[in-house]
Chain A
């Protein structure tokens, strides 16, 4: 299957700081990438859909000014958590669509964010 990488895999930061997470499709071009958040023992919740060259589409309840998404190229999308707070601590996972059909989403290894 297609390979997606994420960096960093784990980050610990102080409350009030910003954290940037990178998502790269290594062997395919992803016009569309998705950002999810997963709390312990819960399923994946879609935060936003990132389209190359255009603004991201955010799900209801997700603050676009807090979670900044940039999809600068067909292989790179970034999520910046601004002014992070302890309640933002979570597992953040990105995925890229490898092209269809069936336009399967392939997931990155995830980033564990801990805000102190």
Chain B
């Protein structure tokens, strides 16, 4: 199976930057996704990495190092609405391209 680890909770201040790390152990890696999920709602797609490097999308960036089995999601200029859970998910070719999710990181943005 796949092991995907991410911190359970993080707290940050409005306007600041927060980095959410995700480590994974898998074979047949075929991409890593980050999703945002507000309480009681479905996840919304944030970013996708399949090659090493940084992908930037506005205030959100995601980085991948396949050799290290490591990714991070960087949230800049934090806003109160960014308080949510952030889910790291790995897709594995040998598992029919299914997504396996980490436990999620709950981010609390304080004024």
| Residue B44 is within 8 A (CB to CB) of chain A in the complex | yes
Q: Complex: how many Å from CA A104 to CA B103? A: 19
| Residue A18 is within 8 A (CB to CB) of chain B in the complex | no
User: A interface, by DSSP: helix, strand, loop or mixed?
Assistant: strand
Contact A110 to B50, CB < 8 A, known contacts A46-B99, A104-B33: no
Q: Complex: how many Å from CA A9 to CA B16? A: 35
Give the chain B neighbours of A110 by CB distance below 8 A: 40-42
Interface band, chain A: 20 to 34
Q: Complex: how many Å from CA A93 to CA B43? A: 9
Give the chain B neighbours of A17 by CB distance below 8 A: none
| Residue A54 is within 8 A (CB to CB) of chain B in the complex | no
Contact A43 to B102, CB < 8 A, known contacts A1-B45, A93-B42, A107-B43: yes
The number of residue pairs between A and B whose CB atoms lie closer than 8 Å in the complex comes to 48
Q: Which A72-99 residues have C-beta < 8 A from chain B? A: 91, 93
Contact A102 to B101, CB < 8 A, known contacts A43-B87, A49-B96: no
CB distance from B17 to the nearest CB of A (A): 24
Q: Complex: how many Å from CA A108 to CA B44? A: 9
Residue from B50, B87, B101 whose CB has the most chain A CB atoms within 10 Å? B101
Q: Complex: how many Å from CA A102 to CA B97? A: 11
Contact of B42 among A45, A57, A103, A107 (CB under 8 A): A107
Please determine whether B104 and A103 come into contact, CB atoms closer than 8 angstroms: no
Additional pairs, 16, CB under 8 Å, beyond known A1-B45, A104-B48, A105-B99: A34-B98, A43-B101, A43-B102, A44-B87, A44-B101, A46-B98, A93-B43, A102-B31, A102-B48, A103-B91, A103-B97, A104-B45, A107-B35, A107-B42, A109-B41, A110-B41
The 10 closest A-B pairs by CB, nearest first: A107-B42, A43-B101, A110-B42, A44-B101, A43-B103, A43-B104, A102-B48, A109-B42, A107-B43, A93-B42
